[in-house]
Amino acid sequence: MVALNLPGTPMEVLVNSLQKMYPQFTFLKGETARWSPRLRQITYVSGKEPFAVWSLLHELSHALLDHDTYDSDMELLKKEVEAWEHAKMLADNVNQPIDESYIQECLDTYRDWLHKRSSCPACGMHGLQPLAELYDCLNCAATWKVSSERFCRPYRLKKAKV
By CB under 5 A, is residue 137 in contact with Zn ion? yes
CB closer to Zn ion out of 14 and 59: 59
Helices (H) and strands (E) in the chain, counts: 4, 6
Q: Put the strands of the sheet holding 34-36 in their side by side order.
A: 26-29, 41-44, 34-36
Site residue total, Zn ion (CB under 5 A): 12
By CB under 5 A, is residue 106 in contact with Zn ion? no
By CB under 5 A, is residue 90 in contact with Zn ion? no
By CB under 5 A, is residue 11 in contact with Zn ion? no
Interface region with Zn ion, contact rule CB under 5 A, candidates 5-13, 25-33, 41-49, 74-82: 74-82
Report the alpha-carbon distance of residue 96 to residue 107 in Å, rounded.
20
Interface region with Zn ion, contact rule CB under 5 A, candidates 20-28, 45-53, 86-94, 136-144: 136-144
By CB under 5 A, is residue 107 in contact with Zn ion? no
The b/e string for 9-34 (b: 16+ C-beta within 10 A; e otherwise) is: eebebbbbbbeeeeeebebeeeeebb
By CB under 5 A, is residue 128 in contact with Zn ion? no
Q: Put the strands of the sheet holding 134-136 in their side by side order.
A: 128-131, 134-136, 143-145
CB closer to Zn ion out of 101 and 139: 139
Amino acid at 25: F
- Measured CA to CA in angstroms, residue 84 lies from 90, 106, 107, 139 at distances of 10, 10, 9, 35
CB closer to Zn ion out of 20 and 115: 115
Among 32, 46, 139, 143, binds Zn ion (CB under 5 A): 139
By CB under 5 A, is residue 81 in contact with Zn ion? no
Report the alpha-carbon distance of residue 41 to residue 22 in Å, rounded.
11
Which residues sit at the interface with Zn ion, rule CB under 5 A?
A: 80, 83, 120, 122-123, 125, 137, 139-140, 142, 151-152
